[in-house]
A and B are shown apart, each in its own frame.
Chain A
C-alpha cells in the first residue's frame, strides 16, 4: 500500500507527461503481480467496488469527527477522500508489516457486503498513516485525480514493456484486472491474449472541432451529428454487447437493441430514442436520458422510449477487420450489411448531398430548429483510427446559444479548483423583476478570470448557506449553451445543456441581463 501511496503522491506533484510516463512505467516494471495490475486498473478507472459507497466513507468519518467540523473541512479541502484521510484520528504507530498490500485490500473490498464495508475500511485506516489512507480511499472509491488519463496509463505500460500502445488498446477491453496475462505477455512469459469468441470493445474514432476551416466536399463526406450517445455494437454471433464511448458496457440498459442483433460484426452508430425532434426522426436527448444509467428497464419504459441505432460505420464484418480500409469502402460495406437488420432498431445515417462547402453550410443552418447538434465531416480516404487524429474527422457543431445571466450563488470547486469559488449558479429576470436561477456552470473561464470571479464572490457575499454563498446580483456572465429544455429542477422551468461561461460582462449592468422569457423562446 505504501508503494502505491508514494506513486500517487509523486504523480500528483509531477507536471510533465514524460516524467509521469517514466514514474508509472518504472512502477509497473518493479512491482509484483497482482498489485501492479490492480494499480493499473485504478489508474485507468477500471476498478469498481460497488459495495463501497462514497457516502459510507463520509459517514465513517462523521462517526469519529463532528459533522459540522467535517463539512467545513470538506468544503475547504475540496475532496472527500483527502478530507477523510487527513481528519482521521491517528493511532499509535503500527509496524510496516501490518499494513495490508494492495492485493489484500482489493480482495477484501471485493468480497465485502455493503453493510460490512465501513467496518473493513475503518480497520484498514486505523493501521495506516494519512498518505496511505488517502491512497486506500482513492482505490476504494475511484477518481484518482492525479492527472493521469487511462490513455497515459496504457502508454506507460507500453513504454515499460516495449509494445505499441495501439496493440495494448486493442486487447485492453477484453481483459480484466489484475491483467496477469497482459503482464505475462509484456514480460515475454506468455503469448498475446487470445480474444476469439469474446465480445469486446474497440476504441472509437473521434473527431476534432472544425473551428474556422473550410474543407473540400470531394475529400470529405458529411452526415448529421445526431444528438444521442455514440454506441458500438459488438456481436460474436453468440453474444451481443453495446458499449458507450468510454467503453462502458451498456447492454443491460438497452436489451431491445441488443436482442435485435445476432450477427458476427462490430458497428459504430448513434443510440437514439424514437420521437418527433431532430427533424422528426428522433426524440430529444432528454428522452434518451430516461433510458440511460439503468440496470433494468421495464417493458413500459422500453415501449415509451423505444431505442434504435443510427449506423455510422462498420469495423468488423465477421472476422474481417475493415478498419484499415477507407471510409468510402467501409460505407459501401455498411450499406450492404445494414439491410439484413431489423429496421425498427437499425437504420443508416444518411450522407448529406452537399455540392460544396457553402452548400453544406446552408444545410447545416437549415438544421437550426431541429435538435440536431450539427454536422460531421469524414475524410473519404480515412481508415478507422482510434482516438482523435487531426485532419480525418471533424465535428461542425451549430453555433452555441448565448444568454446574459446574473451570478446568484457560488460554491467552491473541486480538484484543481479546490478552495476557489468556481461553481456559479446564475439567473435571468422574470417579468416581475425577480431573478430566477436558469443554470449552473463551472468552466469556460481562464485561470486569471477565475481569480477575479473568486475575489468578486469573497468581497460580495450576502449570505452563507453551508458551502454556498449568495452574492450581490451585480456580476453579468455571458453563458453559452448547446440547447435549452423544459425542466422541473429549476424554478424558471428551464435547464441548459452544456452551459459554460463564455464571457464576463463587466461592462453590462445587471438590470440589462436577459429575461427568462427570452430563454424560454429558445427551448427545443
Chain B
C-alpha cells in the first residue's frame, strides 16, 4: 500500500537553523494494517505524515503509494487516495458553510464539475450516515459547521473522510484537542470505522495506552528515526513499562523524563 524508502527531510538546509527532522526511514505498510505511532514532541511524526501526504517534498528518498512512485506528485493529486485528519478541528471542514455543503464537497475526491449533485436523495443519504454518529447532526443539515462543537466537527470530518473511501488514512493526533469525553467518542468511532471498512491507517497518538490497545502494529519514533516497530503477537503483549524499558535500552536515555510521552 505504502512504502517509504530511505526517506529523509532536512529543514533550512545549509543555514545555522539546519534541522534534520526525518532520518533514513524505511517502512512498508501493508493493505489493512492499522499502525499506531508514538514519539515525543519533535520526533518527526507529523513531518512523516507531511511527507506521505505531499505537504512538502523529502530531501532524499522515495515514497511509493499503491506501487506508484509519488515522491514528486503534488499534494492535491495524492490526496485522492489519502484521508488525513488533523489535531486542529477547524482544518477538516469549512466553518462558514452548511453541514450538507461540507458533506457534498467531501463526497467524492477529484475534480468537481458543473453538476448539481446535492438533491433530496443525497440529503437522505447524508442524514442516514449522520445518524450513525449519534450526535443529532442529522437534523442540522442547514446549519453552518462553525456552530458545531470541536467533537462534533471532528466526528463529522471522520465520517466524511470514510465516505470518500480513501486507500490510506492518516490520523494526526486527531483527538488531542478534544475534551476527554469527546476524545473517547471520536476514538471509538475511528476504531469502529477502521474495522468496518478495513481501512489501512496510521494514527499518531500521545497516549501510550491507546497505542498499545489499538491497531495491529506500533511504531515508536525518536529524533527523526523509527526506533521500534512491533506487530502481531509481540504487540498484543506489550505493556507501558516494557515500552519505556525498550526505549531506554535502544536510546540509552531516560524515557520518563520525556513528559510528552507520559500517558494519562
Q: Indicate, yes or no, whether A interacts with B.
A: no
B interface residue numbers (CB < 8 A to A)? none
A interface residue numbers (CB < 8 A to B)? none
